[in-house]
Amino acid sequence: MDSDYIKSKLGLKIKSYRKSKRFSQDTFCSYIDLEQKNLSNIENGKAYPDIKTLINLVKNTDITPEYLLGFLKETEASEYTSIDFEILNLIINLPDSTKEHFLAFLKSLKK
Query: pLDDT tens for residues 12-53?
Result: 999 988 998 899 999 999 999 999 999 999 999 999 999 899
Residues 6 or more apart whose CB falls under 8 angstroms from that of 39 comprise 14, 25, 28, 29, 32
Residue 54, pLDDT above cutoff 80: yes
Q: Is the pTM of this model over 0.85?
A: no
Question: How many domains in the chain?
Answer: 1
Containing structural domain, residue 9: 3-110
Question: CATH number of the domain that 45 lies in?
Answer: 1.10.260.40
Query: pLDDT tens for residues 79-99?
Result: 556 676 667 767 777 788 888
Task: Provide the 3-class DSSP secondary structure of residue 81.
Answer: coil
